[in-house]
């Protein structure tokens, strides 16, 4: 019947969904190791755990998204890097507890499923999984007409990792005298973009192709720089060094994230001039007339990861991180915290 209603007429195409899956199958397989039992296409993903590697294993999981950084991808019509951000935001949250990433799943939701765009997104996710050393074993692509603005989509990611129970890093080993090693971020990472977009595109009305001399790239290119994935560096460190605690610096900045791992009797003293702050943060601060306190509580300000370590390991850890192509800085120390004192102090 010519006027009969179909799913396709309602805006959902099963053909496009099938095409998207066929486009990404080969990409996804690049992340598979012997632990992955099947290719994508089943109702679930299967991952076998090596019984020889772990004695008392604990599963560690996290879920996250990319946030309004996606709006920049829409503006630039560039979709092959936000998948790296997606993996990074999830993976970095479990490696700070000493967990090795095992497998990742993604969720892509959009009003109109464009197979070629899905393929670009998955390219980024695959690259992120390769950097993190985890397998992409499944996901979901949802086409929901009228639910999302045409041309836009949302992403969510889910990571599962594993750590020996006795090797969990939770901050309980932090003590007075420990030093703080900050590891450089690759830029804004994936936080603070609601403020960033309001500043650059609503108030300043800067175009994405505006060249930023101090950043040596365009505004759009700077804002789309992928979040750094610290998994391989952290796993290398914890193999040889005792790490008292680690914090992934995301939304809330250093104050909001470092305090999550500090014991009640400890406070962190952060030396503000102890690391290089990338130019983009200075541009934001100056152009938005943003107070220093607001900058530190909204953005990572150039520090994407903080390690809390015994001073006797500091020099060796710094050397190791540099050998791993990271940029480390000694940014502070742990002192005894008296009653009513702040847990994080900038000096």
**pLDDT at 44 > cutoff 80:** yes
**pLDDT at 245 > cutoff 60:** yes
The predicted pLDDT at position 95 comes to 98
The predicted pLDDT at position 248 comes to 98
Question: What b-and-e string marks burial along 160-184, b requiring 16 or more CB atoms within 10 Å of the CB?
Answer: bbbbeeeeebebeebeeebbbbbbb
Question: Are 163 and 261 within one domain?
Answer: no
User: What's the rounded mean pLDDT across residues 313-333?
Assistant: 97
Cα dihedral across residues 139, 145, 147, 152: positive or negative: positive
CATH of the domain at 188: 3.90.650.10
Q: Which residue has the tokens 């914890």?
A: 238
Question: Are 96 and 230 within one domain?
Answer: no
The predicted pLDDT at position 194 comes to 96
Question: Are 69 and 161 within one domain?
Answer: yes
Bridge partner list, 59: 162
Question: Are 36 and 83 within one domain?
Answer: yes
Question: Are 137 and 188 within one domain?
Answer: no
Question: Are 107 and 61 within one domain?
Answer: yes
Of 31-40, 87-96, 127-136, the range with the lowest mean pLDDT is 31-40
Q: Which residue has the tokens 């804004």?
A: 188
The predicted pLDDT at position 27 comes to 82
Bridge partner list, 110: 143, 153
Question: How much is the mean pLDDT over the chain?
Answer: 93
Question: Are 327 and 197 within one domain?
Answer: yes
The predicted pLDDT at position 29 comes to 83
In a domain, 79, yes or no: yes
- 3-state SS, residue 100: strand
pLDDT per position as a tens digit, 104-147? 999 999 998 898 999 999 999 999 999 999 999 999 999 998 89
What stretches of the chain show up as alpha helix (H) in DSSP? 14-29, 69-76, 82-95, 115-132, 193-197, 219-223, 231-240, 253-258, 279-288, 292-298, 311-323
Question: Are 188 and 145 within one domain?
Answer: no
User: What's the rounded mean pLDDT across residues 153-169?
Assistant: 96
From 128, 147, 167, the end of a domain falls on 167
Write out the two tokens for 39. Answer: 């290719």
Domain region containing 141: 14-167
In a domain, 7, yes or no: no
pLDDT per position as a tens digit, 280-318? 999 999 999 999 999 999 999 999 999 999 999 999 999
The C-alpha atoms of residue 132 and residue 127 are separated, in whole angstroms, by 9
In a domain, 8, yes or no: no
In a domain, 38, yes or no: yes
Is 155:86 a contact under the CB 8 Å cutoff?
A: yes
The predicted pLDDT at position 5 comes to 78
Question: Are 92 and 139 within one domain?
Answer: yes
Write out the two tokens for 307. Answer: 């390690």
Domain count, the chain: 2
**pLDDT at 2 > cutoff 70:** no
Question: Are 217 and 340 within one domain?
Answer: yes
Question: Are 145 and 222 within one domain?
Answer: no
pLDDT per position as a tens digit, 203-240? 999 999 999 999 999 999 999 999 999 999 999 999 99
Question: Are 185 and 268 within one domain?
Answer: yes
């Amino acid at each position: 019947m010519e006027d009969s209603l179909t799913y396709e007429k309602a805006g959902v195409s099963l053909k496009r969904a099938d095409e998207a899956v066929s486009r990404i199958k080969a990409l996804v397989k690049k992340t598979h190791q012997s632990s992955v039992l099947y290719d994508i296409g089943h109702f679930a993903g299967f991952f076998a755990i090596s019984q020889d590697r772990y004695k008392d294993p604990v599963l560690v999981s996290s879920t996250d998204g990319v946030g309004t950084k996606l709006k920049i991808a829409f503006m630039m019509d560039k979709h092959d890097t936000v998948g790296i951000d997606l993996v990074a935001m999830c993976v970095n949250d479990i490696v700070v507890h000493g967990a090795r990433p095992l497998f990742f799943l993604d969720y892509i939701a959009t009003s109109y499923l464009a197979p070629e765009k899905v393929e670009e997104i998955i390219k980024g996710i695959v690259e992120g999984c390769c950097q993190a050393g985890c397998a992409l074993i499944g996901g979901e692509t949802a086409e929901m007409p009228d639910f999302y603005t045409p041309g836009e989509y949302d992403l969510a990611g889910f990571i599962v990792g594993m750590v020996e129970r006795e090797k969990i890093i939770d901050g309980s080993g932090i003590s007075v005298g420990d030093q703080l090693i900050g590891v450089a971020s690759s830029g804004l990472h994936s936080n603070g973009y609601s403020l960033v977009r309001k500043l650059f595109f609503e108030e300043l009305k800067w175009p994405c192709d505006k060249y930023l001399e101090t950043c040596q790239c365009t505004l759009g290119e700077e804002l789309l720089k992928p979040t750094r994935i610290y998994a391989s560096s952290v796993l290398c460190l914890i193999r040889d060094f005792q790490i008292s605690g680690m914090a992934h610096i995301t939304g809330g900045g250093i104050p909001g994230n470092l305090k999550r791992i500090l014991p009640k009797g400890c406070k962190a003293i952060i030396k503000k001039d102890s690391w290089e702050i990338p130019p983009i943060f200075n541009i934001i601060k100056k152009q938005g007339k943003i107070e220093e306190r607001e900058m530190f509580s909204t953005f990572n300000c150039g520090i994407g990861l903080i390690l809390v370590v015994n001073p006797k390991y500091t020099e060796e850890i710094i050397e190791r991180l540099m050998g791993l192509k990271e940029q480390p800085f000694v940014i502070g120390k742990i002192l005894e915290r008296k009653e009513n004192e702040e847990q994080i102090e900038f000096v």
